[in-house]
Amino acid sequence: MTHTITLIPGDGIGPEVSRATQVVLEASGVKIDWEVQHAGAAVAETQGTTLPNSVLESIRRNKVALKGPIGTPIGKGFRSVNVTLRQALDLYANVRPVKSLHGVEPRFEGTDIVIVRENTEDLYAGLELIIMPGVAQSIKLITERSCTRICEYAFDYAERLGRKRVTVVHKANIMKLSDGLLLESFRKVALKHPKIEPAEMIVDACAMQMVRNANKLDVIVTENLYGDILSDLGAGLVGGLGIVPGANIGHEAAVFEAVHGSAPDIAGKGLANPTALIQSAVMMLHHIGESTAAQKIDRGLISLYERSEIRTADLGGSSSTEEFTEALCKAVATA
């Protein structure tokens, strides 16, 4: 079966890592008809918007998109494409697996955490005001509806992927009402999922646990800001932004993308590590039911990283994006 999927190459290193990902998917044998759509700074020059309607239409039609990083032109009045996409498609769950690759960060080997981050509320609602000169207020907006659906997503995810425990990460000892609402919703949802062990952890303690006992954590469900910080911490544990994948999931569509940004400092130089987007594409393959191809790429990545000679510069190697991709394709073909 051929899948039609929207591809947004993105800005900066986006086109390079997107190209690499397409080639690796092809090597895995999966049949994809890419509908290439452009968004971001370059599009804004000619179309006056960073996110043309045709892009949203394409994603709604295909229900699945793979997206490279997109920078937001600073100071030109454009809204972030990432935020607009999330809101327009109501991509309420941000899923970020933090899994160590054998041979990359030996100290944190065995780490296998999945962070499920609420993607629409919290301090990201953008409700800020100046109360009087010298006094600013930022509103942390939390609704029961969003707490419940993100917790339901986390428990369903845990069941589907055979995980054992879901830990809600909060600061309800201080923010008794807002974080308290998350905690209450979590407890109610947990009762409906008796096969999964529920746990609760305060966010500062969680940060420490991630560093000291990363291998004891399983699935984490948390608010937008805590999720943002903890997932970058997680990325740091297992080898950095060049490695970790992500997915934005909603009821009508899913957008798979790396956690990293457009990295303009290394764009166009053939230095980018495409692993993060490739691993995001592996999540996408599971999502569309192509698990055989997904496992092939997984095995290819594991075998390539076990042999340490082929590494991109972010992991201390000297291989180019292209050399890495070529070696990975060979590993995938024989995996």
Q: Which residues are known catalytic residues?
A: 124, 171, 204, 228
> 90 in the Ramachandran plot: left (φ > 0), alpha (ψ -120 to 50) or beta?
left
Max intra-chain CA distance, the chain: 65
Minimum CB distance to Mg ion, residue 261 (Å): 3
Minimum CB distance to ligand ATP, residue 244 (Å): 10
Residue 264: which of ligand ATP, Mg ion, none does it interact with, CB under 5 to 8 A by kind? ligand ATP
Residue 266: which of Mg ion, ligand ATP, none does it interact with, CB under 5 to 8 A by kind? ligand ATP
**Are the beta carbons of 209 and 102 closer than 8 angstroms?**
no
Which residues is 202 bridged to in the sheet? 170
Minimum CB distance to ligand ATP, residue 242 (Å): 4
Nearest to 277 by CA among 265, 262, 288: 262
Nearer to ligand ATP by Cβ, of 180 and 236: the residue is: 236
Nearer to ligand ATP by Cβ, of 242 and 245: the residue is: 242
In terms of Cβ atoms closer than 10 Å to its own Cβ (0-12, 13-18, 19+), residue 77 is exposed
Minimum CB distance to ligand ATP, residue 149 (Å): 28
Tokens read off for 297: 């790429």
Nearer to Mg ion by Cβ, of 38 and 260: the residue is: 260
Residue 300: which of ligand ATP, Mg ion, none does it interact with, CB under 5 to 8 A by kind? none
Pairing mode of beta strands 93-99, 112-118: antiparallel
Nearer to ligand ATP by Cβ, of 103 and 261: the residue is: 261
Residue 272: which of Mg ion, ligand ATP, none does it interact with, CB under 5 to 8 A by kind? ligand ATP
Measure the CA–CA gap between 17 and 10, rounded to whole angstroms: 10
Chain residues in the site for Mg ion (CB under 5 A): 261
Q: Give the CB-nearest residue to Mg ion.
A: 261
DSSP string covering 165-218: EEEEEE-TTTSTTHHHHHHHHHHHHHHT-TTSEEEEEEHHHHHHHHHH-GGG--
Chain residues in the site for ligand ATP (CB under 6 A): 13, 69, 71, 241-242, 260-266, 272-273, 276, 314
Nearer to Mg ion by Cβ, of 10 and 198: the residue is: 10
Tokens read off for 15: 């086109």
Tokens read off for 251: 């009821």
Measure the CA–CA gap between 94 and 156, rounded to whole angstroms: 14
Tokens read off for 299: 């095995």
Nearer to ligand ATP by Cβ, of 110 and 264: the residue is: 264
Minimum CB distance to Mg ion, residue 235 (Å): 11
Nearest to 203 by CA among 224, 185, 186: 224
Q: Give the CB-nearest residue to ligand ATP.
A: 261
Measure the CA–CA gap between 2 and 235, rounded to whole angstroms: 33
Give me the residue label for tokens 């699935």.
219
Minimum CB distance to Mg ion, residue 131 (Å): 30
